[in-house]
Amino acid sequence: MTVKQDFQVSICKLQFRLTMLRLIYMIRKIFSLACFGIGVFMYSGANAIEYTAIDNAPIEKLIKACEAGDGDICRRVARAYFYGNNVKIDFKNAVLYHQKACDLDVGGSCNNLGYSYQEGLGVDVDMEKSCYAYLKGCNLNNNLACINLANLYRDDDYGIPRNKDKAALLYAKALKISEEKCADDDTEGCRGLAILYNYGRGVKQSDEKAFEYALKTCNLNERRGCGMVGYSYQTGRGVEADLKQAVFYFDKACSLKNLNSCFSAGQIYFLGGKGVKKAEKIANDYFSKACDLNNANGCLYLGNNYKTGTGFRVDHRQSAYFYSKACDLKSDLGCYNLAKAYRDGQGIKEDRKKAYDMFQSLCDKGMGKSCNRVGKMIEFGLIEVNDLRYLDFAAQAYAKGCDLGSKRSCDSLERLKNNISLK
């Protein structure tokens, strides 16, 4: 590490405030997130290294080449584990090989390493390591790493104190690198420009410019670029709204294994709209592809649709299976619905203690309607409480849910109070 880098990292460490860290979920709720990166932050994908026959080689051979010191191959191995290219999706291994590639000065992998530490993908959230990885990636002229580090200084959302001057310098550097790369048809550069124009970071915000560069990125067969274009057509940002075109580009992105775009295509068919007829079976096909790629919402929708018989025959076992997978992927609604299945023994072996614990955990995380479920399980004896004050405990759960905005919790609390007063 150079003296300059060491100094910069030291500053980053000094500014880091551990007490401000918030819990960040592995996969966030989608809709607007589907296309312009996850939030404002970006994971490098196909970008600077194109898919070639090398990517289809046995993973063991790729790992051997990586261990021999080939940074490009290490990044390909990491990408294979992250997206499930010929191997099972494994975020921990993705982090491991991005670390190896970053150590070998592959800037894109440094960016991805920073993103993984920021979002807790395969590792615990560690903003100090995230900051260092982004810094190294930016110093290696990775435009997305510069943008991600700039976002940390700009937003003050992850424990890094706001510093607009540093953010501006980093955005300016990212813009210069992006323009140079995109001129050479580098997808990472073009996607960086789409992001910068979309959010107005370091440039004047322009939906039209964002669309222009997203389309160029997509034409270079980069999955998120196609997702961006689909989102633009879906929302009418930078181009006239057109659901048919949105589906076309979401489908292309989905075929390139962009999990969020698979879900977005499914949603359009699920709801229907101008130019796209509602088609539940087609929607479920896309939700299945999304779920296979570890998109929590895709799994959640499959769980719902198997439960209600929407596009499928009713199958409570399948419903519980997909709720379980959604829950494993950090979907609160997936966990909530799985808890109901455990409580009722619907599609899964009844386990009221497990259901209660899951409802309580979700209540503690701020889901008001789950607090209502906790209260009802206590009040109506669905969970054993060896305490004469059990109604007080139920009332406390209802009150918490009510404070969190759950009308049903408020109603339950009022009903319980009335019942007690009648007695």
Q: What is the pLDDT of residues 340-354, one digit of tens each?
A: 999 999 999 999 999
Q: How confident is the model at residue 160 (pLDDT cuts 50, 70, 90)?
A: confident
Q: What is the mean pLDDT of the chain?
A: 88
Q: How confident is the model at residue 312 (pLDDT cuts 50, 70, 90)?
A: very high
Contact 16, 152 (CB under 8 A): no
pLDDT at 388: 76
Q: What percent of the chain has pLDDT over 70?
A: 87
Q: Where are the domains of the chain?
A: 1-183, 361-423
Contacts of 107 (CB under 8 A, 6+ apart): 136, 137, 138, 140, 141, 142, 145
Query: Does residue 54 have a pLDDT over 80?
Result: no
Nearest-5° angle of CA 228, CA 304, CA 346? 150
pLDDT at 89: 84
Nearest-5° angle of CA 173, CA 179, CA 185? 135
pLDDT at 36: 38
Query: Does residue 159 have a pLDDT over 90?
Result: no
Fold of the CATH domain 1-183: 1.25.40
pLDDT, mean of residues 214-220: 97
Query: Does residue 251 have a pLDDT over 80?
Result: yes
Which one has a higher pLDDT value, 32 or 110? 110
pLDDT at 78: 95
pLDDT, mean of residues 100-104: 97
pLDDT at 26: 33
Contact 255, 226 (CB under 8 A): no
Contact 272, 282 (CB under 8 A): no
Chain segment 9-28, per-residue pLDDT in tens: 444 543 443 333 333 333 33
Contact 133, 118 (CB under 8 A): no
Which one has a higher pLDDT value, 21 or 88? 88
d(CA 291, CA 297): 7
Q: What sign has the CA pseudo-torsion 147, 152, 156, 158?
A: positive
Q: How confident is the model at residue 57 (pLDDT cuts 50, 70, 90)?
A: confident
pLDDT, mean of residues 298-325: 98
